[in-house]
Structure 1
């Protein structure tokens, strides 16, 4: 196959090589790639070349088919990532040029990992602003998985730096990759810590919301009973359509005022959905009282 020649391949760029498995010796350069397509994968491993063959050993892979998690991979995934970066490969220094290009591609993939972090930050921002209903537990799990992927890639880069058996240019790529991944690990850990703090706050908000709803239920049951006990129901029962509105309008008004106060005090924004739900509960309760009054002996 032709690698480092772009997509579609430029015959004047790149080199024809064979992908092998477990045959080449020598120093390995870090291999970090993010595949494209419907379901992306993060591939972390090492690569070696002798100029005519390229060996890629994948140590771990993560996929986003159901949220970022560790997954399987295929040789086609690896082959699809070797078109870039585009390089002109001279026959005289073919092995060295390919090794340098592979290391450069791994360094470039750090920016793509940064893009994945930006995606996670956008999802968290949407959740905080209540623009999305993403499960917080799923977001935290994906952050942990991405942190594992970045840490694993950094381990590979650090191992290459420690070996130090490369040219100066390849070493610069490995060192830059190490620094970039170290920064991403720090930012992902800080993001995970922030989300954990938000999870605690969300749990407290959920408890407050439950208490508010419990107060709403108590008001919804208590206010009609209080009104009926104050004014009596004997003069109205059994209901006729003329008596019903005079008995139920004060109850509906008291429930509406109580619902308005509760919606105002409830954590978060007062959305149209919440208002419609409150109106539905009021209508339901008034409807139950109406039916009960009509059926009263």
Structure 2
């Protein structure tokens, strides 16, 4: 398809060049420059590939795509319109022998500029991790870790494109942008790996905390079942049965008090932040146990 590329948005007739653009998923032989872009659509995508031009034709190869839809993940490339991704950076491109080199330099510059967008994605992942640590959101930890791995792979693939261009392309402008991409993406990959290591450590700690919480809940259940049985076995329940008048509260008040004390100690010692939801669950458990005992006492034979 014929497009005017690198003319800005809105398009400036004094900038850019009219070329024939082809998009494929097959590798190009020869001197190709990195083509790395992040789409601006609602479900963003990371496109990683390379491009080559002779001044009249621009061949774009998309080697890998990562989609944000449902969490960052690799998806197959079914082709698509990349015209919006070729509007920037806007360049003045005169006709002549230097035209291919100028277009190549501009495409490489656009890839280098995309590193800032990739850095923004890393910031977003750091915010998700911070929210998890502060318990401000309930995103599954496994999903966050998977996204960190996927982004690390995407950044590494983009860095590989820059390194390949450094081996093949000798144009000074292209080399400068590819060297910057190599360095900046290397830093981003290191930070992502450090973040992944931190999340892995947090996952181990969270697993230990979950086991401790389970043990505390098991202790609460044991206390809830054992204390009433102990009280009734020590003092006997026959004189209170069947429940009538004030015998019900005299029989169940000590049991309710013991359960409330046990629940309070467990909630106080429970790891992590204790919320209103935990207190309501404890009250519901106590009320349920007292209700079962009350019903059982009413139904007991006189």
With the shorter chain as reference, the TM-score category is over 0.9
Match of 2:18 in 1: 16
From 119, 123, 147, the counterpart of 2:124: 119
From 128, 133, 143, the counterpart of 1:128: 133
Deviations 1:61-90 (A, max 9, x none): 111112111112344353331111122222
| Shift in CA distance, 135/84, structure 1 to aligned 2, threshold 3 Å | same
Q: For 2:231 and 2:63, how far apart are their aligned partners in 1?
A: 72
Match of 2:244 in 1: 240
Write the mapping of 1:15-164 to structure 2, written as runs, cut at 5 A: 15-21=17-23, 26-92=30-96, 93-163=98-168
User: Following TM superposition, by how much is the alpha carbon of 1:94 offset from its aligned partner in structure 2, in angstroms?
Assistant: 2.7
User: Following TM superposition, by how much is the alpha carbon of 1:108 offset from its aligned partner in structure 2, in angstroms?
Assistant: 0.7
| Shift in CA distance, 16/25, structure 1 to aligned 2, threshold 3 Å | farther
What is the TM-score of this pair, normalised by structure 2? 0.93
Q: For 1:23 and 1:32, how far apart are their aligned partners in 2?
A: 15
Asked if the contact 1:24/1:49 (under 8 Å) is kept, the reply is no
Asked if the contact 1:2/1:15 (under 8 Å) is kept, the reply is yes
Asked if the contact 2:33/2:52 (under 8 Å) is kept, the reply is yes
User: Following TM superposition, by how much is the alpha carbon of 1:20 offset from its aligned partner in structure 2, in angstroms?
Assistant: 2.1
| Shift in CA distance, 260/155, structure 1 to aligned 2, threshold 3 Å | same
Structure 1 stretch 122-131 or stretch 66-75: which is displaced more?
66-75
Asked if the contact 2:27/2:63 (under 8 Å) is kept, the reply is no
Q: How many residues are treated as equivalent by the alignment?
A: 296
User: Following TM superposition, by how much is the alpha carbon of 1:5 offset from its aligned partner in structure 2, in angstroms?
Assistant: 2.1
Q: For 2:28 and 2:217, how far apart are their aligned partners in 1?
A: 67
User: Following TM superposition, by how much is the alpha carbon of 1:224 offset from its aligned partner in structure 2, in angstroms?
Assistant: 1.1
Match of 1:179 in 2: 183
Match of 1:3 in 2: 5
Q: For 1:140 and 1:185, how far apart are their aligned partners in 2?
A: 14
Unaligned runs of 5+ in 1: none
Q: For 1:181 and 1:77, how far apart are their aligned partners in 2?
A: 26
Asked if the contact 1:150/1:181 (under 8 Å) is kept, the reply is yes
Q: For 1:78 and 1:62, how far apart are their aligned partners in 2?
A: 15
User: Following TM superposition, by how much is the alpha carbon of 1:25 offset from its aligned partner in structure 2, in angstroms?
Assistant: 6.2
User: Following TM superposition, by how much is the alpha carbon of 1:287 offset from its aligned partner in structure 2, in angstroms?
Assistant: 0.7
Asked if the contact 1:68/1:142 (under 8 Å) is kept, the reply is yes
Asked if the contact 2:28/2:61 (under 8 Å) is kept, the reply is no
Unaligned runs of 5+ in 2: none
Q: Secondary structure at 1:125's aligned position in 2?
A: helix
Match of 1:284 in 2: 288
Q: For 1:171 and 1:32, how far apart are their aligned partners in 2?
A: 15
**Alignment RMSD (CA, Å):** 1.7
Q: For 1:44 and 1:197, how far apart are their aligned partners in 2?
A: 31
What is the TM-score of this pair, normalised by structure 1? 0.95
Q: For 1:277 and 1:17, how far apart are their aligned partners in 2?
A: 67
| Shift in CA distance, 181/158, structure 1 to aligned 2, threshold 3 Å | same
